[in-house]
């Protein structure tokens, strides 16, 4: 099935089998995400891509696109919720951007900037989990894991291995390694595996590759994640975009949009930091 | 020497005066005086009240994080920490200084000349020039860069722009003015491109001229106030610094040289990787800063000074012409082999400022800065030591790692630490000579800060405060009763009175 859905007043075409986030990305409309990755099976754990579809809350990375859907993504309420969700992702780890080698290339950092996260908001746990540096080429810093499950999926679906898993629930949730000792050195992971490169934070790192990209040449140095993720300039609601605007009457009829919503509301500000 | 003033014989019945915090220095420290009933100083101490713990919390991290993480020790001289750590981790990947690609070596030197230039400009103009231009006991309103900019706008503005240029050098090489990246194990992560090089070249001739003017200013200030400037807080000491193999002044890499009070060379071209045999550190209970000393001479005689005065005193020559001419004039002024005047730190700092400007000018014509040969490789080692001449003196970084590339042990001897004994001696001397027996006033107490400030200490090697730091001065009588109190709020407002 293919057709057109409406995201924040923009008519977005979709093709058969696409989820809302995939259709949006194809059309250059950025919906924030961390556990999603193009080409990977939907997972829906981080909840950053939460949108309202015909008035109901859904994750855009799991819901199939359907003809005539009216999607609200860039509303004050949803942006506020996304900011809080992002802040919660920082609570259980130790995300010290100033010395982290992933800084500037980190999706979590980039999303936090995009969501205008200026403080912790929630108290932090300052956890102290053991580093797994046992593998000669790959390192796990458990304090930076946000349980996005991408490494688990990458290892299973892309590498044909099952190196990683998520164990436990709630506060006891943790990334585990499928090896007799639980250490990475005793697993069958290789530095060429996709699982070694897919982490959106600095939790799984390839050793001795730190800071090779100078400041100015890192992924998010010159373009916010909203542009990088779509690989083209983000389309702002209500602006001429190459894609036609939706019928505003239809939007109102189908919408049940947020009470605060206005079609001309600008997107969340992108902060360009001297990081 | 006034060693007897380190600890009073009977502190119980003495009144205590504290300068807390010491202002216009990097970091947080305080001075305490204990006075008897006749206002005679019985004890004077410089306390460093911050505890940082970097050596502990970098344990357990992978070694390649070190240059980026430990530079957060300081917002003024992060490049020095960055490069000292980089030199240490070069060794961890089996690359000795001689094997570093020439482009990487020159880019690091350029980065460091920018660092020393901006730090020296900051210290001289922003922090110390109010004392030097308006007098040590000038009214409080005069003691800031704002007053300098008002009364001497040309001088103040040149200082600001000199510092800015140094920071721009740092930004071009490491991506940011403060806390960039750049050095990686065995080299650098980028060269300059032509646009960056040309951007720096367009202003460097002016920077050399302004550096000359700064040197002329400090020379005039010093020589116009003789013999006071030669005498104030002055102590005869040994000096430790790096020098080039040919004896020239060196800031990035060289062997350790130590000269004694008479200028006799005690140690020369000493491999800094053997520093644990050369230097030990003593801990005293009343301060967080250790007291390093030369092992061979022991705790009481082995202390030494580091920094610009040590480097200019120790070197045989400076390999840039304008700075060398200034060095010759400086040494002639002293009339003996070594210049011991503590306020001559300012003079030598400006000689080095000029040397940095000249060196940057030379380096910017070097095509190696644009080279793409930036990284060398070698066999992994488990221990790395990096030593560099930071703006404030010789800086030691020493790390050990395990088979998984994780830091297991770290030892840092920060420049200011090496000046600990000397700063305390200078404080004791000023207290005994200028304060003892007098009614203490706030301007009078600034003399203590002037003595400390000459060393350009980086007390926490992290924070920096200027102007409006809160300050509280208490006068307590022999019975422990508060007699007088002067409070400066962070707003700049002064409140005088016992409440």
Q: B127: helix, coil or strand?
A: helix
Interface of B with A (CB under 8 A): 60-62, 64-65, 68-69, 72, 174-176, 179-182, 184-185, 189-190, 404-406
In a domain, B203, yes or no: yes
Proportion of chain A above pLDDT 90, given as a percent: 74
Each residue of B422-445: b (16+ CB within 10 Å) or e? bbbbbbbbbbbebbbeeebebeeb
pTM of the model: 0.87
If asked whether residues B39 and B108 sit together in one domain, one would say: no
For chain B, counts of helices (H) and of strands (E): 17, 17
Cα–Cα distance for residue pair A162/A165, rounded to 1 Å:
8
Q: Is residue B435 part of a domain?
A: yes
- Asked whether residue B464 falls in the same domain as residue B363, the answer is no
For chain A, percent helix, then strand, then coil, each to nearest 5? 25, 15, 60
Q: Tell me: the pLDDT tens digits for A242-251?
A: 566 665 544 4
Q: Is the domain of B110 the same as that of B206?
A: yes
Residue B315: Cβ-neighbour burial (10 angstroms; 0-12, 13-18, 19+)? buried
| B116 and B226 together in one domain | yes
> Which chain B residue shows the shortest CA-CA distance from A133?
B404
Is residue B461 annotated as involved in ligand binding? Answer: yes
Query: CA-nearest residue of chain A to B63?
Result: A208
Cβ contact (<8 Å) for B404 and A214?
no
Residue B470: predicted pLDDT:
44
Does B224 share its domain with B165?
yes
User: Strands A3-7 and A50-53: what pairing?
Assistant: unpaired
A177 CA: distance to closest CA in chain B (Å): 17
Q: Output the six-digit token pair for A63.
A: 């819901």
Q: Which residue of B has its CA nearest to A97?
A: B69
pLDDT tens string A198-210? 999 999 999 999 9
Chain A contacts of B90, Cβ < 8 Å? Answer: none
Domain holding B42, by residue range, is: 3-49+423-496
More confidently predicted of A153 and A266: A153
Judgement on whether residues B346 and B204 belong to the same structural domain of the protein: yes
Whole-number pLDDT of residue B178: 92
A226 has pLDDT over 60:
yes
Q: Does A99 touch chain B (CB under 8 A)?
A: yes
B137 falls within a domain: yes
Same structural domain, B142 and B211: yes
Cα B468 from Cα A75, distance rounded (Å): 43
CA B39-B44-B50 angle, 5° bins: 135
B473 inside domain: yes
ipTM of the complex: 0.84
Angle of helix B344-363 relative to helix B102-121, nearest 10 degrees? 140
Q: Is B283 part of a structural domain of the chain?
A: no
pLDDT at A129 over 70: yes
Does B151 share its domain with B224?
yes
Residue B39 sits in the same domain as residue B114: no
Does the N-terminal peptide bond of residue B227 adopt cis geometry, omega within 30 degrees of 0?
yes
Give the model confidence (pLDDT) of A50-82 as tens digits.
Answer: 999 999 999 999 999 999 999 999 999 999 999
pLDDT of residue B159: 94
- Judged by a CB distance cut-off of 8 A, whether residue A127 touches chain B is no
Asked if A262 is an interface residue toward chain B (Cβ–Cβ < 8 A), one would say no
Residue B240 counted as domain residue: no
B275 in a structural domain? no
**Which has the closest alpha carbon to A122: A171, A172, A83, A175?**
A83
| Residue-by-residue pLDDT tens, chain B, 499 positions | 788 888 888 888 888 888 777 776 666 678 888 888 888 888 888 876 666 678 888 999 999 999 999 998 888 889 999 999 999 999 999 999 999 999 999 999 999 999 999 999 999 998 888 888 888 887 877 778 888 888 899 999 999 999 999 999 999 999 999 999 999 999 999 999 999 999 999 999 999 999 999 999 999 999 998 888 898 889 999 999 999 999 999 999 999 999 999 999 999 999 999 999 999 988 777 777 788 999 999 988 999 999 999 999 999 999 999 999 999 999 998 888 999 999 999 999 999 999 999 999 999 999 999 999 999 999 999 999 999 999 999 999 999 999 999 999 998 888 888 888 898 888 888 888 888 888 777 777 888 888 888 888 875 442 223 333 345 667 777 777 777 777 755 455 677 764 4
Put simply, whether A97 touches B (Cβ < 8 Å) is no
Residues 191-220 of A with CB under 8 A from B: 207-208, 210-217
The answer to whether residue B462 sits within a structural domain is yes
> Which CATH number is B371's domain given?
1.10.645.10
Number of domains making up chain B: 2
| Mutate which: B60, B62, B95, B406, vs A, most A CBs within 10 A | B62
Each residue of A231-240: pLDDT tens digit? Answer: 644 334 334 4
CA proximity to B321, closest of B354, B346, B345, B364: B354
To test the contact with chain A by mutation, choose from B69, B181, B379, B380 the residue with the greatest count of A C-beta atoms within 10 A, namely B181
Cα separation, A157 vs A171, in Å, equals 27
Whether B227 and B114 share a structural domain:
yes
Q: Give residue for tokens 């400037």.
A: B229
CA-to-CA distance for B476 and B473, rounded, in angstroms? Answer: 10
CB–CB of B120/B157 below 8 Å? no
- Mutation test of the interface with chain B: which of A104, A214, A274, choosing the one with the most B Cβ atoms within 10 A? A214
Confidence label for A274 from pLDDT (cuts 50, 70 and 90):
very low
Phi/psi for A175 (5° steps) reads: -85, 125
User: Is the minimum CB–CB distance between A235 and chain B shorter than 8 Å?
Assistant: no
Domains, chain A, in order of start with CATH, read 14-81+223-255 (3.10.20.740), 90-206 (3.30.70.20)
Judged by CB atoms closer than 8 Å, whether chains meet at A133 and B68 is answered as: no
Long-range contacts of A226-230 (CB under 8 A, 24+ apart): A226/A30, A226/A32, A226/A114, A226/A267, A226/A270, A227/A30, A228/A110, A229/A25, A229/A30, A229/A33, A230/A25, A230/A28, A230/A29, A230/A30
Would the CB atoms of A215 and B69 count as touching at under 8 Å? no
Of A50, A52, A53, A26, the residue nearest A38 (C-alpha): A26
* pLDDT recorded at residue B357: 98
Residues of B in contact with A274 (CB under 8 A): 176
Residue B406: its chain A contacts at CB < 8 A? 131, 133
Q: How many CB pairs under 8 A join A and B?
A: 53
> Is B269 marked within a binding site?
no
pLDDT interval class at A257 (50, 70, 90): very low
Phi/psi of residue A132, each to 5°? -105, 95
Q: Are residues B362 and B450 in the same domain?
A: no
A212 to B190: CB separation less than 8 angstroms, yes or no: no
Residues B367 and B445 in one domain: no
Structure tokens of A185? 């050195």
């Amino acid at each position: 099935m293919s057709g057109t859905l409406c995201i924040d007043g923009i008519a977005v075409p979709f093709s058969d089998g696409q989820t809302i986030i995939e259709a949006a990305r194809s059309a250059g409309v950025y919906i924030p995400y961390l556990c999603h990755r193009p080409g990977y099976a939907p997972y829906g754990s981080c909840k950053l891509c939460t949108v309202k579809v015909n008035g109901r809350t859904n994750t855009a990375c799991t819901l199939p696109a359907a003809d005539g859907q009216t999607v609200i993504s860039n509303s004050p309420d949803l942006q506020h919720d996304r900011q809080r969700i992002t802040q919660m992702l920082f609570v259980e780890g130790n995300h010290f951007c100033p010395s982290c080698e992933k800084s500037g290339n980190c999706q979590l950092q980039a999303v936090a900037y995009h969501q205008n996260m200026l403080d912790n908001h929630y108290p932090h746990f300052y956890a102290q989990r053991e580093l797994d540096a046992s593998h000669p080429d790959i390192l796990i810093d458990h304090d930076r894991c946000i349980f996005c499950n991408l490494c688990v999926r990458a290892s299973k679906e892309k590498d044909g291995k099952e190196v990683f898993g998520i164990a436990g629930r709630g506060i006891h949730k943790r990334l585990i390694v499928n090896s007799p000792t639980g250490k990475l050195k005793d697993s069958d992971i290789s530095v060429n595996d996709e699982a070694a490169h897919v982490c959106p934070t600095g939790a799984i790192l390839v050793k001795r590759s730190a800071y090779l990209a100078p400041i100015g040449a890192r992924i998010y140095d010159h373009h916010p994640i909203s542009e990088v993720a779509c690989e083209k300039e983000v389309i702002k609601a209500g602006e001429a975009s190459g894609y036609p605007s939706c019928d505003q009457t239809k939007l109102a009829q189908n919408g049940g949009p947020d009470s605060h919503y206005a079609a001309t509301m600008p997107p969340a500000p992108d902060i360009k930091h001297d990081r | 020497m006034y060693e007897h003033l380190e600890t009073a014989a009977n502190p119980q019945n003495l009144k205590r005066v504290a300068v807390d915090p010491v202002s216009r220095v990097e970091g947080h420290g305080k001075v305490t005086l204990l006075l008897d009933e006749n206002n005679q100083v019985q004890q004077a101490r410089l306390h460093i009240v911050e505890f940082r713990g970097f050596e502990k919390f970098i344990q357990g991290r992978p070694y390649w994080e070190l240059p980026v993480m430990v530079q957060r020790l300081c917002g003024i001289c992060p490049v020095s920490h960055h490069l000292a750590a980089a030199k240490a981790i070069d060794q961890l990947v089996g690359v000795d200084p001689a094997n570093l690609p020439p482009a990487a070596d020159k880019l690091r030197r350029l980065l460091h000349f920018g660092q020393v230039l901006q730090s020296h400009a900051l210290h001289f103009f922003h922090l110390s020039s109010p004392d030097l231009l308006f007098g040590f006991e000038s009214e409080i309103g005069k003691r800031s860069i704002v007053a300098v900019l008002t009364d001497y706008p040309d001088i103040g503005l040149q200082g600001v722009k000199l510092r800015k240029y140094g920071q721009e050098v740092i930004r071009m090489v490491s991506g940011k003015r403060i806390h960039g990246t750049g050095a990686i194990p065995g080299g650098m992560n980028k060269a300059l491109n032509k646009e960056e090089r040309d951007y720096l070249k367009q202003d460097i001739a002016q920077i050399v001229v302004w550096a000359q003017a700064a040197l002329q200013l400090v020379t005039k200030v010093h020589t116009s106030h003789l013999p006071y400037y030669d005498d104030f807080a002055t102590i005869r000491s040994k000096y430790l610094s790096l020098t080039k193999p040919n004896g020239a002044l060196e800031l990035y890499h060289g062997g350790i040289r130590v000269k004694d009070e008479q200028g006799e060379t005690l140690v020369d071209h000493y491999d800094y990787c053997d520093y644990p045999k050369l230097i030990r550190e003593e801990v005293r209970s009343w301060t967080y800063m250790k007291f390093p000393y030369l092992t061979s001479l022991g705790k009481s005689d082995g202390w030494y000074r580091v920094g610009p005065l040590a480097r200019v005193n120790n070197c045989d020559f400076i390999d840039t012409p304008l700075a060398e001419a200034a060095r010759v004039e400086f040494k002639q002024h002293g009339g003996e082999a070594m210049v011991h005047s503590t306020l001559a730190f300012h003079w030598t700092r400006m000689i080095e400022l000029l040397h940095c400007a000249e060196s940057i000018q030379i380096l910017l014509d070097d095509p190696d800065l644009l080279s793409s040969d930036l990284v060398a490789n070698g066999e992994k080692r488990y221990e790395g030591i990096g030593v560099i001449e930071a703006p404030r003196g010789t800086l030691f970084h020493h790390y050990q790692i395990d088979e998984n590339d994780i830091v297991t042990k770290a030892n840092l001897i920060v420049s200011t630490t090496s000046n600990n004994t000397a700063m305390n001696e200078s404080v004791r001397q000023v207290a005994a000579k200028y304060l003892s027996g007098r009614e203490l006033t706030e301007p009078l107490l600034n003399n203590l800060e002037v003595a400390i400030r000459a060393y350009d200490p980086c007390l926490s090697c992290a924070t920096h405060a200027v102007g409006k730091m809160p300050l509280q001065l208490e006068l307590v009588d022999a019975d422990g009763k508060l007699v007088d109190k002067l409070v400066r709020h962070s707003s700049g407002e002064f409140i005088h009175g016992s409440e």
